[in-house]
Structure 1
């Protein structure tokens, strides 16, 4: 009897729950939803409020900006501060190319020694310097030959010998013999009559013969004046070749060497034919800085009066 009562009560309970669930479903509310709604559901937008007789849309996943009426408090997102300072941009400096240091010199201007003599002998083998400059001294003629070698071999035109240049010279030449290291020198013979250079036999020409150490003024093959001449030192040799008289300065003066240069006749850069007080006083005991020194004042004054700008100047060895 007792079991029947319990079974009847359970059946009634089940029927009651079913009735209540049907009524709730008819109004759009899941069973027992009013008791289990969460704080997040309470914060839903007003337009999500269920309307009787209609199924209610589920809460949107997008958070609402409306302040919740109950439950947990939602924190609105922070607005961007217009005064905020932008992060600094790091600008890397462009690297600059640094100049390479010049290589160390093994032999350079004014050096002396056996290595210089060997260098000059090897350059003479290549036809870059005359054998008369094989003299154990690195002068301007040797410097010119070294620079010419460097240019032809695509080396830096330093004008002095570095390790790379010395290796290249040795690789392209043979070991000099004693005869090549000590060749015979041309012997100057002052005032010796010699044949004129063919370039002096026509027109108007100042002919400078280094072999006889003389200067001759020649017009149409006829020698009008002859005078003693002195030339540049080994470190500043008088240039050889065919030149043109570029300028005449009667009372010339060298500020660099602090000396006067009367009757200066320029033919190659700063090199000129001019009167020399030192040549007149010391003779061939000295030398010039590249100019052709004359010690006969009267003869040079006559030449200065007759020579014209544009006349030939020939400097040679006979």
Structure 2
């Protein structure tokens, strides 16, 4: 049975829960880049934890993020093509919202991409950049972050629409929103109510022959765990919920066996 006692002051009330059944699942292989942690009870902006594992730089691959003619551009060269999320990115960055790329737009988007490890950082308003925007917007919502039902205790909230994860305790944010990568269309993360039923700090996937640091299983083989890949990139996972390494490490200290997990929405992209 899961714990129902709140770890903080009583929040906004309770809600009836529908618990998912634990079933067989798939486990993800990891490779990629180190992220930046948002501590569990952090103030408004996250602080980066010290390096905890060696990792290469951002993975470079051809994607929708690249835009036209990216292969002929250097990493620092601006891409003046209008991206599919141009207006959304312009609005978030306080630019003129006209849906048309300009040199000034490109420079501002490049700066945002570099600050958030979006690769390639060429100023193109593609899906990876939009995912970073959605995370920053969720972070800015504070305790009003939307989507997770009110409960009487701890619940891990996984919004697959925005690709973000946070933890609430009786309606109060216990772990601020962080970027997440859920399952690809071929291996979707299952939605519904679950519980953390197994935790293993140094789990190794025999199915995919790869590490799953700070693995916290909630539905068969599907787990919350740290990843060495760039968090924004496709493809999605094999059903697990990937986190940046330091976020996964911090989350390990926040959760316990029996904590609730609520998953909803649908991942956009691969």
TM-score of the pair, normalised by structure 1: 0.38
- Bigger relative contact order (CA 8 A; separation at least 6): 2
Give the greater-gyration-radius structure (CA).
1
Name whichever structure is richer in strand by fraction.
2
Greater helix share, 1 or 2?
1
- State the TM-score, normalizing by the size of structure 2: 0.44
